[in-house]
Amino acid sequence: MGLNQGYEYREQIDARGAGLTVREYLAAAYRHSSEAEWTARLENGEVCLDGRRVQGSVVLKPGQWLVWRRPPWEEPDVPLAYAVLYSDEDLLAVAKPRGLPTVPAGGFLDNTLLALVRRICPEATPVHRLGRGTSGIVLLARTARARSVLAAALRRSEVTRTYRALAGGLPGRDAFTVGSPIGPVPHPLLGSVHAANPAGRPALSLVEVLERRTGCSLVGVRIKTGRPHQIRIHLACAGHPLLGDPLYAPGGVIVEGGCALPGDPGYLLHAESLRLLHPATGEPFELWCRPPPELRLRSE
């Protein structure tokens, strides 16, 4: 894989950034890079303020536009094959492989599902996301109307999504509900990530044990709310984090002393089905994507 085309990260300074120098702001807001790395980027002319190259010592004011023009870079290798599950004038549904990011983030730009899909369907826009380590159904809207209708349905919890996962341990119940709120908590590299947080937003997951195995369990999880990393967090809240999850520990908290990122691999989670009303016809509509071998029942 060669270099991508580079990318322009643009943001408007608000009251939180006012009074900081450009260097201080960038180092505090983007902890994936050190202050020395930002200094080098500033000296290379990669950072502009209100359209002009800026020095790191300049003090920021509210309303200014700060831009980092990141030069082309070589992205990490990821699986690039995906399958089209369904397509019509309003919708496109695809099966995302485990390891492929849904949208640009964290060093990925061209090696993303969105970039790949837009090569054949430039108007497609994801109406939800799957984590990089999660496989399965991603639904995209092909029209502005479909995008608006689906976004409203998601806000009203009218879209039901069912997942399969491999959870650590053996739950004592065959079915249980997890309703822990989810919100941002501190993270040493990113500033914050989503985890169990009493002050967070409401979330609900319905868990069914499908098969108990040696030291782990195959579970089905049905969600109507779609908080970031909801299933990973809720299974950890229940004392059964996804097997191999490097980020979430029992209780739905961040692994103590760890620096894992949300996109780091290791766990098995698959978006198996999605039920909703079709945005154009209003008729019930369901999609299904076969789980990978590790997440199938012995009888399947």
Phi–psi pair at 147, nearest 5 degrees:
-60, -45
Domain that holds residue 34: 7-70
pLDDT in tens, 77-133: 999 999 999 999 999 999 999 999 999 988 899 999 999 999 999 999 999 999 999
Same domain, 168 and 106: no
Count of beta carbons in the 10 Å neighbourhood of residue 92: 23
pLDDT in tens, 140-166: 999 999 999 999 999 999 999 999 999
**Separate counts of helices (H) and strands (E) for the chain:** 5, 18
CA dihedral 58, 61, 64, 69 (to 10 degrees): 30
Same domain, 183 and 202: yes
Strand partners, 276: 285
- Model confidence at 44, pLDDT cuts 50, 70, 90, reads very high
- Model confidence at 30, pLDDT cuts 50, 70, 90, reads confident
Residue 283 lies in a domain: no
> How far apart, in whole angstroms, are the C-alpha atoms of residue 102 and residue 106?
11
Q: What is the pLDDT of residue 153?
A: 95
pLDDT in tens, 220-237: 999 988 999 999 999 999
pTM of the shown model: 0.89
Residue 183 lies in a domain: yes
Same domain, 119 and 22: no
Percent of the residues in the chain that have a pLDDT greater than 70, as a whole number: 100
> How far apart, in whole angstroms, are the C-alpha atoms of residue 127 and residue 140?
5
Q: How far apart are the first and last CA of the chain?
A: 37
